[in-house]
């Protein structure tokens, strides 16, 4: 008669082993989670810079293609678009809406904005202009989260660029 070793009747993991693995995973997630929120904020600032770049570049291109002057008014966290219709300026709606939790700062050369305002016979509060010939008032738009900041800049002729 041959000896047959008995196999264990237990398959899988015990409850204690499963609880141990789950507690280790919980500790690891609690260590990693705070760092992930910083990445999300960084990505949020970059995503907003890209969205603003696309909105403004589209406006520049459309103004040039349509042969129409346009300007932006900043009001309550919104970029309001105004376009020249015949001889009158008409509000064309909201071009872009600034996101909560981010800081925005637009910098332009005030003399160039005043010159554009005078040449377009504008009396309103204008923040930025895109001209019918494809040019625009040079700008630097800083977008900042609590960890990262990006600058959207343009020289008035070439395409807009984003820099960290």
Q: What tokens appear for 5 in the block?
A: 């070793």
Which residues are registered as beta bridge partners of 97?
Answer: 78
User: In the sheet that 128-130 helps form, which strands lie side by side, from edge to edge?
Assistant: 88-97, 78-85, 70-75, 128-130
Question: What is the total count of domains within the chain?
Answer: 1
For residue 8, being part of any structural domain is answered with: no
**115-140 pLDDT per residue, tens:** 888 888 887 788 899 998 999 999 99
Here the CATH number for the domain that contains residue 47 is 3.55.40.10
What pTM, to 2 d.p., does this model score? 0.72
Q: Domain span at residue 99? A: 38-163
For residue 27, being part of any structural domain is answered with: no
- The answer to whether the beta carbons of residues 19 and 122 sit under 8 Å apart is no
For residue 79, being part of any structural domain is answered with: yes
For residue 128, being part of any structural domain is answered with: yes
For residue 151, being part of any structural domain is answered with: yes
29 pLDDT more than 90: no
């Amino acid at each position: 008669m041959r000896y047959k070793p008995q196999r264990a009747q237990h398959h899988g993991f015990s409850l204690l082993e499963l609880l141990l693995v789950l507690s280790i995973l919980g500790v690891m997630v609690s260590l990693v989670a705070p760092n992930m929120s910083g990445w999300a904020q960084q990505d949020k600032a970059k995503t907003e810079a890209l969205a603003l770049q696309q909105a403004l570049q589209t406006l520049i291109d459309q103004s040039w293609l349509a042969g129409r002057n346009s300007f932006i008014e900043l009001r309550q966290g919104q970029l309001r678009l105004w376009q020249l219709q015949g001889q009158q300026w008409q509000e064309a709606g909201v071009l872009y809406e600034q996101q909560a939790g981010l800081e925005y700062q637009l910098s332009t050369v005030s003399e160039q904005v005043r010159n554009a305002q005078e040449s377009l016979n504008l009396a309103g509060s204008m923040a930025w202009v895109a001209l019918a010939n494809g040019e625009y008032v040079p700008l630097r738009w800083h977008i900042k989260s609590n960890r990262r900041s990006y600058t959207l800049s343009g020289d008035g002729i070439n395409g807009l660029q984003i820099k960290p």
